[in-house]
Amino acid sequence: MIRRGLRFGLSLAVLLALAAPSQAQLYKWVDSSGRVQYSDRPPPGGRKAEQVSNANVSSIGAQGASGGGKSAADLEADFRKRRAEQAEAGKKQQQAAAEQKQKTESCAAARRNLTALQSGQRMARYNEKGEPSFLEDGERAREMQRAQQQVQTYCN
């Protein structure tokens, strides 16, 4: 009998000890940067603070913690959507960088080709047998015109 009463008394004391912090006084004030602050201690520096009841804090905390009334599933979906958008933007940026690099390389090759054609040196093409075939004046002029078009295309 005494043991049962002792257990009951200890259980009651533990429950009361756990319930005591929920009844603690809470303070609300605006800090120097204009943000609203909540604490279980008065604000530093003797600032004016409003005492807040637990009923008000629980409703404020529920809205603040869940992003304005969104459920955890909605927050998770929003997070996944933002992450997917960031990944897509990263892919687009990499693709644009690769295209720019290719355009720069093509421009440099077109300029080198045009410079070689304009230099007057003998130019040759190689046929399918690997034999050189030197460019005639008419072919050189057509190749120069094609090279100039490539420079305009890739370098602008």
Q: How far apart are the first and last CA of the chain?
A: 97
In a domain, 40, yes or no: no
Mean pLDDT estimate for the chain: 81
Which of 5, 57, 50, 4 is CA-nearest to residue 30?
50
In a domain, 128, yes or no: yes
**Dist CA 31 CA 106 (whole Å):** 59
In a domain, 129, yes or no: yes
- pTM (two decimals): 0.45
Given a cut of 80, is residue 8 above it in pLDDT? no
In a domain, 152, yes or no: yes
Distances (CA, A) of 34 to 29, 30, 38, 47, 62: 9, 6, 13, 13, 22
Task: Output the pLDDT for position 1.
Answer: 58
Structure tokens at 86: 């960031």
What's the structural domain count of the chain? 2
Highest mean pLDDT among 15-19, 53-57, 63-67, 70-74: 70-74
Domain of 57 in residue numbering reads as 1-27+51-64
